[in-house]
Structure 1
């Protein structure tokens, strides 16, 4: 058996699958200019839950033996992302609000003993964004808005196995936290009583995180992991056909290409391995398209059908197992019920899936070898429940 020296692996700690779910659930990426719709006050309390199942079929290089492990590996996880808003109108022109969202999230857990352990074991991310925001009315047709994004990155983990001697491996846990700031700017135009157009821009947020790396009995408390949450632009168009039917079309463009390389500094990797890892990602911009059609079924009840297609930022030759992002499809049905003049309950159920291929390589002892080769299938059942109280 050979003890391989590993200078680089293809890994990153974000999972855009949950990010795409936020395109049609919760209030992430909301346009601050649209706060003008609030009469006096608004309270939103909600949560998005989803159960994700992933299957990998293929082969992964075993760094202890130099051979390839083959077969199938699975991840099955459940996540709950609470969100909320409190808003108040100050005067005829100005509305102030504070939104709490979780725009980025990851929860993948591949078996630590599976043949895929050298590529990925756990990938966790809890991202909490607190955004004070303001809407201002320029006229009866033009509205603008702006917000500050206070982004708290919690429980960020990207874990994988490394050899600890020629015949054994252990799971290396890389856990960091961080804080970053950004902003969002929005504009909204009322063309007439039937046509509305909104545009919002969310800036990139740089996260320079720090924490602890652990491998067997080795601990390094000086771990650093740096990356950027991408800037995102959203264009939204609403058309009212009549009092009962409307459609909403949206385009999301996320600038993932800001992340061309990702670096882990001061991991607990043992000698002769280098504790610093630099990973080539070569991300490109991603685009998502959302279409919704709503029917006012009764005086109190509305139904909305939503479809999403998202083209992920990754290329096949760099796509790793803990970030298997590619073209993703979602379909959801939402219902809203007006309990009384001020209170509305909204419930959504959706299903999403993705099939993709990965064929990344790794440099081992000066040789460029296939690392992770195979197919990944991801699916998610999504439920979103929201209570909205307006006065």
Structure 2
């Protein structure tokens, strides 16, 4: 840890780092200034990041620790140009939202009050953007797409006629870390994008992370329910259906016409062929190479899974000392079975 003076140079933006911020290249030189940063580079040779939201004042600053193997003499500091970039944002005539001067937006698009469209973004005809939504730099939204309230879009391209419900987050950092020599968890760069196809619907509070080694992709006509998590580098085919609370770990590949029941879990780096249906609460731990229905933990053929369930129910057949009734009437109800009279004919295996 040492101290330095900041010297600002050219102002620009950082698409290669997937940044949602404006920046200027700044060199750090050793001195007795009050700005601290942590780095593994040699003193006097390293540059660091200096980040600002577009509405912060130019004197604002933050600290960032840099760690190998990603710290090097090529790193840069990001800052604001002289004055505030708020002057570059203007009120949009249709809805009263805020628009950056470099954004391209069709005159028929509606941007409601409280929504912000950042620099170099493209908004097509008949798009609706709800209040509180943030459209980050260089985002593309094709025609007739409806964006709900309090949506966060960054590093993404959204196709035609999509519906994005309230609270959705698309294009944020993926969940990727490595362990350094000291056993610390260090974040990996996530520098790619999310590609959303045409006629896709994404339910409320769903999160889709941007890619690290390939783009995260949602195919045409796929429908995603509320509270779904899709990790970085995931590729989902066309006409897929994901029910509530599905979780797909990073780098999974899903074919076309795949249906997932509620709370299905998909581990990382697995592939699922097209035309697969997964029962609710199933967990896929390895590749699925045959179309069909699957269920269980780990997910297996639905017929095999049902036989396993039936076998386990039969294993609960009561002894003479402790009768147990397993039936459609009692399953899921009170576990107090003292009032039940055992009758062999009433025993059912479901």
Q: Which has the higher contact order (CA 8 A, sep 6+)?
A: 1
Q: Name the TM-score class by shorter chain.
A: under 0.3
Q: Which has the higher strand share?
A: 1
Provide TM-score, normalisation by structure 2: 0.22
Structure showing greater Rg: 2
Provide TM-score, normalisation by structure 1: 0.20
